[in-house]
Structure 1
Amino acid sequence: MAESEKEEMTFLQHLEELRWHLVRAFVSVFIVAVLAFMYKEILFDVIIFGPSRPDFFTNIKLFELGQMINMPALGINQTKYDFQNILMAGQFTMHLKVSFIAGLVVAFPYIFWEFWRFIKPALYQQEVKHSRGAIFFASVLFSVGVLFAYYVICPLSVHFLANYKVSAIVENDLNLGSYISTITSIVLAGGVIFELPILIYFLAKVGLVTAVTLKKYRRHAIIVSLLLAAIITPPDIISQVLVCFPLIFLYEGGILIARNIERKKLKEQMQ
């Protein structure tokens, strides 16, 4: 009975520790969200509405490239878009939502670090040693995914979706909430998808996947990459190719990671 109570107490202690990790992670998101909320002009005029403006970096470079190779179609988002809000609290709600998402994106490295601190005591010393760079690489991959989605996918998606028409008699009056949901979902999806090598790393460490298995399902992975590219991008071939290639590259990187882990395990067993 005493042993049972001790085990129950240990379990409750783990829950208490997890709670404090979650609290600290939420506080980090909250602090960044408050700062983002305070700087409304930068958050919306510069960042959120950036991909829709002619002076956005990607739009400028594509326009210049189109002029250079005589392809005017590359000049995307060269006209000013007008956005409308039809809800009484619509703009305030969007302000809160985007501030929270900004907090989530910026605070991601700290959130991952808190998660790592929680699971670290359950790992063996050797596993901790081999996983020291996980926080750094996870943060870098997430940031690269966010930037790739923001600077590449977002402007292409905005141009395609804002100008697509089923009929010439139908005008596109862009809804604020729809535009923001599109931008934020693409950015978050980009950050999450670029975490694929980290996921493969942990799965390979616990023996759930191997390099042989990943090679066996390479064709399936390519099909899944094409499907994901079709889901998170507008249905034009250029956008889908731009998204599909990084996904395939990340999968191939995962194969190399799994192979490296297997070699290290084999080397340790031989010693």
Structure 2
Amino acid sequence: MTNVEEDEVEASRAPLIEHLTELRSRLIKALVAFVLMFFVCFAGARYIYNALVWPYVVAVGSPEKAHLVYTHGLEYLFTQIQVAAFGAGLLAFPIIAIQIYKFVAPGLYKNERRAFVPYLFATPILFAIGAAVVYFIAMPLLMRFSVGMQQLATDSSPSIEFLPKVSEYLSLIMTLIFAFGVCFQLPVVLTLLARAGLIDSEFLKSKRRYAIVVVFILAAVLTPPDVISQFALAIPTLLLYEASIFSVRMVEKQRAEAEAARAAAG
């Protein structure tokens, strides 16, 4: 290897080391944010738990009727840890997203950074809307259905009572919140793909029937095996797919106007 080739290797190695150092710094900051939020959420795990149980309370009518059980001594402790991790992920997400943006931003042009910022704000908003659909619509409906399946004891039949386990109930609602929150990112993902020139509105319209099938398959995988939660996820996601087509059209319109302006200036 000649001296010139060695110099080129060293020159390319330096930016790589700088990028790795920057990545390490961003990862540490994101991890510290998550750990700090975890301890905060663990200290207030009971309050988070009480908030997550609200859909069940609504279904049964009052807190006195909402009974959840645990069947071994450490189950509730592990559930508190799970709840704390869930809350930490939600609270630390803005900080983590900012760290990701600060790592990616230096490689973007100024106009690309301006275009990226709205999606940075849209992501947590759409996630919150998805979580709200679970909290105020999907879970209360699912709990009412489950409670309605109970059987009162009679002379000829025993009672069948709905007594959800703490771990199973909280795992269910946290899984649904995560699934809905992720699926509600569909407009952001598709619009970014359109900005990158990978898809267009005609492509999305032509693939609509396949999108319907894929959405219902994902809803079946991500939600419990009941029709209520599956439709509660699938229908809003399909509406968001239609909203994504409109958003992609807007991107195409802006791109066409920018190209026309450049052509006129040229």
Could you state the TM-score of these two structures normalised by the residue count of structure 2?
Answer: 0.82
Q: Which residue of 2 aligns with 1:138?
A: 123
Q: CA deviation at 1:234?
A: 5.5
Q: CA deviation at 1:145?
A: 1.2
Q: Aligned partners of 1:6, 1:164: CA distance in 2, in Å?
A: 69
Q: CA deviation at 1:187?
A: 0.8
The answer to whether 1:29 aligns with 2:31 is: no
What is the alpha-carbon root mean square deviation over aligned residues? 2.5
Q: Aligned partners of 1:132, 1:262: CA distance in 2, in Å?
A: 18
Pick closer, same or farther for the CA change 1:87–1:17 going to 2, 3 Å. farther
Alignment match of 2:80 (pick from 85, 91, 95): 95
Q: Which residue of 1 aligns with 2:21?
A: 16
Q: Which residue of 2 aligns with 1:49?
A: 53
Q: CA deviation at 1:40?
A: 3.2
Between the aligned residues of both structures, percent identity stands at 27
The answer to whether 1:120 aligns with 2:113 is: no
Q: Which residue of 2 aligns with 1:243?
A: 233
Which amino acid in the other structure matches residue 202 of structure 2? Answer: V
Q: Aligned partners of 1:261, 1:119: CA distance in 2, in Å?
A: 22
CA-to-aligned-CA distance 1:162-187 (integer Å, 9 cap, x gap): 6658x977655422221111011001
Q: Aligned partners of 1:164, 1:48: CA distance in 2, in Å?
A: 22
Q: Which residue of 2 aligns with 1:39?
A: 44
Alignment match of 2:164 (pick from 174, 180, 197): 174
Pick closer, same or farther for the CA change 1:82–1:111 going to 2, 3 Å. same
Tell me, yes or no, if the aligned pair for 1:194 and 1:250 is still in contact at 8 Å.
Answer: yes
Matches within 5 A, 1:1-271: 1-45=6-50, 47-53=51-57, 59=58, 76-78=59-61, 80-161=65-146, 164=149, 172-231=162-221, 232=223, 235-236=226-227, 239-270=229-260, 271=262
Tell me, yes or no, if the aligned pair for 2:45 and 2:83 is still in contact at 8 Å.
Answer: no
Q: CA deviation at 1:252?
A: 1.1
Unpaired segments ≥5 residues, structure 1? 54-58, 60-75
Number of matched residues? 248
Q: Aligned partners of 1:254, 1:31: CA distance in 2, in Å?
A: 36
Tell me, yes or no, if the aligned pair for 1:161 and 1:234 is still in contact at 8 Å.
Answer: no
Q: Aligned partners of 1:244, 1:77: CA distance in 2, in Å?
A: 26
Unpaired segments ≥5 residues, structure 2? 1-5, 151-156
Q: Aligned partners of 1:43, 1:265: CA distance in 2, in Å?
A: 45
Tell me, yes or no, if the aligned pair for 1:157 and 1:233 is still in contact at 8 Å.
Answer: no
Tell me, yes or no, if the aligned pair for 2:38 and 2:88 is still in contact at 8 Å.
Answer: yes
